[in-house]
């Protein structure tokens, strides 16, 4: 049994930066480097990608990340753990094996953990958990469904000596709990230790959100070297107490304030944070600055895990389109407002077009407009028209009308842009644990 | 005559989302300002400040020993990322809705809240 484990986070979301992960791989002296790259919606988009091309559906940056860190991780004995497999862990594992061979890393062991995809168990009558009704009531095609697997699903790969573990929908903190439980020999029913490991995972899983990212507010909360902000490292003791830190040479900061903000990020009741592993309790956590960029965290607790596993079901939501045109200088707000009224009236001649339409003025009321609109004398205003629809022709009509403002709207409008993105809708359901069977496949480069 | 402050002058905050639920934690920079936050930044106050946005319940969790409050705002994301057409469909910027509220500096309750207990209050 080890007395301490050094674990780093090399990505906190799908599009996270790669350079700081390379720093950690090369100089972090890490036992484990975790890449957490999945959200509910990223998984739904991954299912869409796989439907369009059966060889895709994993994180689109998988190859870049693996090429950037594999050699250093192998040299330093750092095991890589990631959910970059998304909707296609097998393809991501095979891709990784190929990259390892290209890099001359013969013998590298790559584990592929699957079993989270429960799409075949979902039908029209499946009851939803986050709202009343069933899958049928959503009225949209299902693109895929995944159960949140816990640390348990990763243990066989760790025991098999994998150098890289690629999975799909593992609960974010469980990516960290698994190696801690493995190295320290924690029981999967030792709720207090699992609660503490979950605190480690929760604080690290969003990457630099705990080292100064998503934090700076100039003049109030200044972050040194945000340009080169580093990803976090946790030094975890066998009793689950840990210190959050970063490499000394990189930018960012680890303070009680950065740790506090992340402690409750996306947490509702601090005493009841549900994961597949445990009901974690962060309500009595102590946070202490030991020295600059080193914050000690202890006192997390846990109660028995939830009986059932959460499932996220992704639906095809059609298209999301946004069209914009800008107005500046004297009376810009009045001209932008008039432009918005004109678009609305032109589209209102076909009522279907107004079903899911929103018109904002960026610079005046776009983000907080529903809550309140404080007066502003801004003379640089962008009209934004947004629409969601499954009918591509409606989307095209809306964008056309916004572009038409260039000649058929108020004076001085410029800078039209229009974008169309795929749209997904997600809902959750619950599934019995015995209905989900994690599997392991091992590959050698 | 009491001094009026913005919450932003004495506290920092971060917003997260799950479905149509926004959660926003608010932390006093200086522990001595925490009673001010706790007394005035109530769930009721928040709901009353932004009634069009905060259509559902507002629950406040208190972490006295860390000088922080956690607000859970249900039905607060205009339908959530699934249906909201807000440019910021996750409500990431909503932390600054709370930081933009004003509080009365002279209203500070000199009594330090019970450090051992973390409580909960609801704003309906």
Model pLDDT for residues A105-148, shown as the tens digit of each residue: 999 999 999 999 999 999 999 999 999 999 999 999 999 999 99
Same domain, A391 and A270: no
ipTM: 0.95
Interface of A with B in 13-42 (CB under 8 A): 41
Provide the domain limits for residue B28.
4-78+86-107
Residue B56, in any domain of the structure: yes
pLDDT of residue B80: 78
Work out the pLDDT band at A431, boundaries 50, 70, 90. very high
Same domain, A248 and A334: no
Residue B40, in any domain of the structure: yes
Return d(Cα A167, Cα B84) in angstroms, integer.
30
Residue with tokens 């610079």: A363
A71-93 pLDDT, tens digit per residue, is 999 999 999 999 999 999 999 99
Work out the pLDDT band at B115, boundaries 50, 70, 90. very low
Work out the pLDDT band at B121, boundaries 50, 70, 90. low
Residue B124, in any domain of the structure: no
Phi then psi for B106, rounded to 5 degrees?
Answer: -75, -10
Residue A229 has pLDDT above 90, yes or no: yes
CATH number at residue A413: 3.30.70.1150
Contacts B65 to A, Cβ<8 Å = 284, 286
Provide the domain limits for residue A208.
4-312+429-444
Residue B109 has pLDDT above 60, yes or no: no
Work out the pLDDT band at B123, boundaries 50, 70, 90. low
Residue B114, in any domain of the structure: no
**Nearest Cβ partner for B85 among A362, A372, A386:** A386
Residue B54, in any domain of the structure: yes
Residue B123, in any domain of the structure: no
User: What contacts A141, CB < 8 A, 6 or more positions away?
Assistant: A315, A316
Q: How many domains does chain B have?
A: 1
- Which of A179, A180, A154 lies closest to A85, judged by CA? A154
Percent of chain A with pLDDT over 70: 100
Cβ <8 Å between A283 and B63: yes
Same domain, A302 and A336: no
CB B58 within 8 A of CB B123: yes
Phi then psi for A383, rounded to 5 degrees?
Answer: -75, 130
Q: What's the gap in Å between the CA of A27 and the closest CA on chain B? A: 30
Question: Searching chain A, which residue's CA lies closest to the CA of residue B31?
Answer: A257
3-state secondary structure of A139: coil
pLDDT of residue B117: 44
Phi then psi for B107, rounded to 5 degrees?
Answer: -80, 0
Return d(Cα A293, Cα A289) in angstroms, integer.
8
This prediction's pTM: 0.95
Contacts A208 to B, Cβ<8 Å = none
A222 Cβ under 8 Å from any chain B Cβ: no
Residue with tokens 């095609």: A141
The per-residue pLDDT of chain A, averaged, comes to 97
Return d(Cα A346, Cα A299) in angstroms, integer.
60
CB A356 within 8 A of CB A418: no
Cβ <8 Å between A261 and B14: yes
Same domain, A306 and A433: yes
Contacts B82 to A, Cβ<8 Å = 317, 425-427
Residue B65 has pLDDT above 50, yes or no: yes
A233-278 pLDDT, tens digit per residue, is 999 999 999 999 999 999 999 999 999 999 999 999 999 999 999 9
Cβ <8 Å between A268 and B23: yes
Same domain, A34 and A156: yes
Same domain, A259 and A345: no
Question: Searching chain A, which residue's CA lies closest to the CA of residue B48?
Answer: A371
B18-33 pLDDT, tens digit per residue, is 888 999 999 999 999 9
CATH number at residue B36: 3.30.70
Q: Which whole-number Å values give the CA distances from A378 to A330, A333, A374, A397, B15, in the listed order?
A: 9, 7, 11, 30, 26
Residue B91, in any domain of the structure: yes
Work out the pLDDT band at A291, boundaries 50, 70, 90. very high
Return d(Cα A423, Cα A240) in angstroms, integer.
41
CB A194 within 8 A of CB A140: no
Contacts A358 to B, Cβ<8 Å = 85-86
Same domain, A419 and A360: yes
Question: Searching chain A, which residue's CA lies closest to the CA of residue B91?
Answer: A367
A140 Cβ under 8 Å from any chain B Cβ: no
Percent of chain B with pLDDT over 90: 73
Residue A357 has pLDDT above 50, yes or no: yes
pLDDT of residue B1: 55
A314-356 pLDDT, tens digit per residue, is 999 999 999 999 999 999 999 999 999 999 999 999 877 888 9
Question: What is the per-residue DSSP string for A364-375?
Answer: TTSSSTTT----
Return d(Cα A196, Cα A303) in angstroms, integer.
11
Interface of B with A (CB under 8 A): 8, 12-14, 16-19, 21, 23, 25, 27, 29, 49-50, 52-54, 59, 61, 63, 65-66, 68, 70, 72, 78, 81-83, 85-88, 93-94, 96-97, 118, 120
Neighbours of B9 (CB within 10 A): 15
CB A155 within 8 A of CB A178: yes
Residue B119 has pLDDT above 80, yes or no: no
Q: How many domains does chain A have?
A: 2
Length of chain B as a residue count: 124
A26-63 pLDDT, tens digit per residue, is 999 999 999 999 988 899 999 999 999 999 999 999 99
User: What contacts A253, CB < 8 A, 6 or more positions away?
Assistant: A211, A212, A223, A224, A292, A293
Helices (H) and strands (E) in chain B, counts: 4, 7
Return d(Cα A162, Cα A443) in angstroms, integer.
9
**Nearest Cβ partner for A388 among B14, B70, B85:** B85
Contacts A426 to B, Cβ<8 Å = 82
Mean pLDDT on B65-89: 91
Q: What's the gap in Å between the CA of A270 and the closest CA on chain B? A: 8
Same domain, A433 and A420: no
User: What contacts B69, CB < 8 A, 6 or more positions away?
Assistant: B25, B26, B27, B37, B38, B41, B60, B61, B62, B63
Same domain, A231 and A361: no
Same domain, A273 and A321: no
pLDDT of residue B116: 41
Q: What's the gap in Å between the CA of B103 and the closest CA on chain A? A: 17
pLDDT of residue B124: 47
Same domain, A90 and A192: yes
pLDDT of residue A167: 98
Pairing of strands A286-291, A380-389: unpaired
Interface of A with B in 145-174 (CB under 8 A): none
Contacts B16 to A, Cβ<8 Å = 264-267
Q: What's the gap in Å between the CA of A208 and the closest CA on chain B? A: 14
Task: Please indicate whether residue B118 or residue B45 has the higher confidence score (pLDDT).
Answer: B45
Mean pLDDT on A178-193: 98
User: What contacts A402, CB < 8 A, 6 or more positions away?
Assistant: A323, A324, A325, A343, A383, A385, A416, A418
Same domain, A57 and A195: yes
Contacts across the A-B interface (CB distance below 8 Å): 111
Return d(Cα B118, Cα B63) in angstroms, integer.
5
- Which of A26, A120, A23 lies closest to A74, judged by CA? A26
pLDDT of residue B81: 77
Residue B72, in any domain of the structure: yes
pLDDT of residue B108: 46
């Amino acid at each position: 049994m080890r007395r301490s484990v050094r674990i780093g986070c090399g990505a906190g979301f799908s599009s996270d930066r790669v350079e700081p992960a390379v720093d950690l791989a090369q100089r972090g002296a890490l036992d484990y480097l975790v890449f957490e790259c999945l959200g509910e919606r990223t998984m739904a988009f991954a299912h869409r990608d796989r439907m369009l091309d059966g060889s895709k559906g994993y994180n689109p940056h998988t190859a870049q990340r693996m090429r950037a860190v594999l050699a250093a991780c192998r040299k330093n004995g750092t095991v890589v753990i990631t959910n970059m497999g998304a909707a296609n862990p097998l393809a991501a594992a095979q891709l990784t094996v190929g990259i390892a061979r290209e890099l001359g890393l013969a013998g590298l062991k790559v584990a592929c953990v699957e079993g989270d995809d429960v799409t075949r168990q979902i039908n029209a009558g499946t009851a939803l958990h986050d709202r009343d009704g069933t899958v049928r009531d959503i009225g949209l095609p299902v693109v895929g469904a995944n159960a949140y697997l816990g640390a348990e699903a990763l243990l066989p790969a760790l025991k098999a000596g994998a150098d890289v573990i690629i999975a799909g929908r593992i609960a974010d903190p469980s990516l960290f709990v698994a190696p801690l439980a493995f190295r320290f020999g924690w029981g999967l029913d030792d709720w207090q230790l699992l609660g503490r490991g979950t605190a480690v995972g929760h604080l690290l899983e969003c990457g630099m959100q705990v080292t100064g990212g998503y934090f700076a507010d100039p003049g109030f909360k200044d972050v040194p070297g945000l340009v080169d902000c580093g990803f976090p490292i946790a030094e975890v003791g066998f009793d689950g107490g840990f210190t959050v830190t970063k490499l000394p040479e990189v930018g960012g900061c680890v303070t009680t304030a950065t740790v506090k903000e992340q402690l409750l990020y996306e947490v509702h009741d601090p005493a009841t944070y549900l994961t597949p592993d445990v009901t974690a309790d962060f309500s009595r956590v102590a946070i202490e600055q030991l020295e600059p960029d080193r914050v000690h965290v202890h006192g997390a607790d846990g109660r028995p895990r939830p009986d059932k596993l959460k499932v996220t079901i992704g639906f095809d939501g059609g298209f999301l389109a946004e069209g914009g045109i800008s107005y500046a200088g004297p009376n810009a707000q009045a001209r932008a407002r008039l432009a918005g009224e004109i678009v609305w009236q032109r589209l209102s001649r076909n009522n279907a077009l107004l079903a899911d339409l929103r018109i904002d003025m960026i610079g005046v009321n776009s983000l907080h407009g529903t809550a309140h609109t404080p007066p502003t004398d801004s003379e640089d205003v962008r009209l934004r028209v947004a629409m969601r629809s499954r009918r591509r022709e409606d989307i095209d009509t809306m964008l056309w009308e916004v572009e038409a403002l260039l000649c058929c709207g108020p004076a001085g409008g410029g800078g039209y842009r229009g974008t169309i993105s795929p749209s997904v809708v997600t809902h959750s359901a619950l599934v019995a644990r015995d209905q989900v069977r994690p599997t392991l496949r091992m590959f050698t480069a | 005559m009491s001094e009026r402050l913005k919450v932003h002058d004495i506290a920092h905050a971060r917003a997260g989302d799950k479905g149509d639920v926004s959660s926003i934690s608010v932390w006093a920079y200086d522990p001595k300002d925490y009673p001010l936050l706790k007394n005035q930044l109530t769930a009721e106050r928040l709901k009353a400040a932004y009634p069009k946005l905060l259509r559902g319940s507002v629950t406040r969790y208190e972490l006295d020993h860390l000088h922080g409050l956690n607000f859970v705002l249900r039905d607060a994301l205009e339908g959530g990322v699934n249906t909201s057409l807000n440019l910021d469909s996750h409500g990431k910027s909503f932390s600054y809705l709370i930081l933009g509220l004003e509080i009365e500096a002279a209203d500070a309750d000199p009594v330090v809240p019970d450090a051992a207990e973390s409580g909960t209050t609801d704003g309906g």
